[in-house]
């Protein structure tokens, strides 16, 4: 993150400035000439929401939104306007902007959208300095916004950017081993602890699912354990976050078609990126919750010794799985991590994964699918956090019907379910490896997008980081 948010009390009249106009009469006090005032008033009458004025010494934006009844949509409107302004600032190559507002949530939302839009993944360009955003500071001028609010905006935005970076890194850099190294680096900045298990330890733990998926790869698997345990933790039993870390998914022997399918599969560690970004933000903000993160990681390749359809795999919890399709690999390694999580006797477990094409086909990029065994209260709190940050959660039925197709004639389970609701049968598969309250997040539709949507850039979106931070800050 190249820029910083800061709280400010004084307006600098030579720097770009955004005024949030909630009250029309406040336009009179902005020091505009009569002619400028007349222009602004007539434009606002036409229902224009944002007016850009070039005042020669600086750029001025006046944002006066039309009414929105729904609070979720209202905040989102401000984030989206922040993103529009970010695009304009970037075209002008400006390095500072001030945001002036009266309402805390609305001022923060506009600032957040502006910051989230000011992201680029330029690491691999020779001329990356020329391409980087010039933005260095976003000053927030609002009495109701506290220092902590501003610090948290810095922290969650950095968490989202790291999460996006991880998704955008190709396999040529981000192997399972490298993913673990990146987590170690981030842990030092954020203050959580990390332990990385290599192949030997994974074998000793009998994580058959992770090892099976790794068999076709020449790179070893890793299993990374993160922990944030502050002295003042509110929860006695930990919360556990599990993220799918498939650093590349070729489908294995059940090979994916190349076009429109395999080319984006460097993003198949989006669940890991979400949980790492969340751990980073939770620890850096020193939230008073004890949280453990588990990241099983490997690529899924059709190498010489690759696991094959028909194989029977003994999993970490002793259940056996008949492999019907090696492209249903995410559930194999998540199952081992979910089973490993049992040893913590957790209060609650969340797992996140780019798990199924079915989730993408059902809801596209609009929201993530959630399902599981946690209480209604927890689901409601997650939905609330999702709405607050506009990462919408779509609760799916979790009826036993969807688990029936997982029965196998030769083993305890097979890794494919029935013909309908593929994202739900995947969740039903995972349920066999849990013995605690749990929510599964299928983020296949939201983790990686092909064209920009508002303040979400194309490619890695960093989805879920802000939602989880909001959840744990309010738990």
> Taking the complex as a whole, how short is the minimal distance between the CB of residue 423 and Zn ion, in angstroms?
12
416 binds, among ligand BES, Zn ion, none (CB under 5 to 8 A by kind): ligand BES
x/- track of binding to ligand BES for residues 413-452 (CB under 6 A): ---x-----x---------------------x--------
- Could you say which of 79, 331, 428, 466 is catalytic? 331
- Could you say which of 256, 314, 324, 392 is catalytic? 256
* Of 367, 472, 343, 362, residue with least CA distance to 426: 362
| Owner of token pair 């304009």 | 88
Query: Is-catalytic flag, 129?
Result: no
* Of 77, 48, 83, 42, residue with least CA distance to 62: 48
Paired with 243 in beta bridges are: 352
Query: Is-catalytic flag, 331?
Result: yes
Give CA 414 to chain center in angstroms: 30
Query: Which residues contact Zn ion (rule: CB under 5 A)?
Result: 246, 249, 268, 327, 329-330
Q: According to the binding rule CB under 6 A, does residue 283 interact with ligand BES?
A: no
Q: According to the binding rule CB under 6 A, does residue 250 interact with ligand BES?
A: no
What is the distance between the alpha carbons of residues 244 and 272, in angstroms, rounded to a whole number? 5
Q: According to the binding rule CB under 6 A, does residue 354 interact with ligand BES?
A: yes
Q: Are the beta carbons of 361 and 43 closer than 8 angstroms?
A: no
What is the distance between the alpha carbons of residues 209 and 223, in angstroms, rounded to a whole number? 12
x/- track of binding to ligand BES for residues 357-386 (CB under 6 A): xx-x--------------------------
Q: According to the binding rule CB under 6 A, does residue 159 interact with ligand BES?
A: no
> Taking the complex as a whole, how short is the minimal distance between the CB of residue 432 and ligand BES, in angstroms?
16
> Taking the complex as a whole, how short is the minimal distance between the CB of residue 448 and ligand BES, in angstroms?
7
User: What sign does the CA torsion over 199, 439, 464, 362 have?
Assistant: positive
What is the distance between the alpha carbons of residues 288 and 382, in angstroms, rounded to a whole number? 18
Q: Mind spelling out the 3-state secondary structure of 344-377?
A: HCCCEEEEEECCCHHHHHHHCCCCEEEEECCCHH
Stretch that binds ligand BES, among 105-113, 150-158, 173-181, 353-361 (CB under 6 A): 353-361
> Taking the complex as a whole, how short is the minimal distance between the CB of residue 330 and Zn ion, in angstroms?
4
Active site residues: 256, 331
Residues that bind ligand BES (CB under 6 A): 249, 268, 325, 327-330, 354-358, 360, 416, 422, 444
């Amino acid at each position: 993150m190249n820029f910083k948010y800061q709280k400010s009390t004084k307006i600098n009249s030579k720097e770009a400035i955004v005024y949030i106009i909630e009250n029309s009469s406040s336009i009179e006090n902005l020091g505009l000439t009569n002619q400028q005032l007349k222009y602004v008033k007539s434009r606002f009458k036409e229902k224009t929401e944002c007016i850009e004025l070039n005042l020669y010494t600086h750029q001025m934006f006046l944002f006066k939104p039309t009414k929105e009844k729904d609070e979720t949509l209202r905040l989102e409107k401000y984030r989206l306007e922040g993103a529009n302004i970010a695009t304009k600032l970037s075209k002008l190559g400006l390095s500072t902007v001030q945001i002036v507002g009266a309402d805390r949530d609305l001022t923060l939302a506009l600032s957040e959208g502006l910051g989230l839009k000011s992201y680029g993944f330029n690491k691999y360009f020779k001329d990356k300095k020329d391409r980087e955003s010039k933005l260095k500071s976003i000053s927030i001028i609002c009495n109701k916004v506290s220092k902590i609010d501003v610090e948290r905006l810095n922290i969650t935005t950095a968490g989202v950017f790291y999460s996006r970076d991880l998704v955008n890194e190709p396999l040529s850099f981000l192997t399972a081993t490298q993913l673990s190294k990146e987590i170690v680096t981030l842990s030092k900045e954020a203050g959580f602890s990390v332990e990385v298990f290599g192949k030997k330890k994974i074998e000793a733990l009998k994580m058959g699912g992770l090892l099976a998926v790794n068999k076709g790869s020449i790179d070893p698997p890793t299993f990374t354990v993160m922990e944030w345990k502050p002295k003042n933790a509110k929860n006695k039993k930990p919360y556990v976050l599990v993220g799918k870390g498939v650093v590349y998914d070729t489908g294995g022997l059940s090979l994916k078609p190349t076009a429109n399918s395999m080319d984006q599969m460097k993003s198949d560690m989006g669940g890991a990126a979400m949980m790492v970004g969340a751990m980073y933000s939770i620890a850096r903000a020193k939230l008073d919750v004890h949280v453990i993160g588990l990241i099983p990681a490997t690529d899924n390749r059709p190498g010489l010794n690759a696991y094959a359809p028909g194989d029977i795999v003994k999993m970490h919890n002793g259940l056996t799985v008949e492999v019907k399709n090696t492209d249903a690999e995410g559930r194999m390694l998540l199952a081992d991590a979910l089973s490993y999580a049992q040893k913590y006797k957790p209060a609650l477990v969340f797992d996140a994964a780019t798990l199924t094409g079915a989730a993408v086909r059902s809801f596209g990029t609009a929201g993530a699918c959630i399902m599981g065994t946690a209480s209604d209260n927890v689901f409601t709190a997650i939905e609330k956090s999702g709405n607050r940050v506009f990462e919408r959660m779509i609760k799916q039925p979790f009826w036993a019907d969807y688990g029936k197709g997982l029965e196998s004639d030769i083993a305890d389970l097979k890794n494919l379910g029935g013909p309908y609701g593929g994202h739900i049968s995947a969740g039903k598969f995972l349920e066999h490896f849990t013995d605690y309250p749990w929510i599964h997040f299928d983020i296949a539709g939201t983790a990686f997008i092909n064209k920009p949507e508002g303040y979400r850039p194309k490619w890695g979106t960093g989805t879920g980081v802000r939602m989880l931070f909001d959840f744990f800050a309010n738990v």
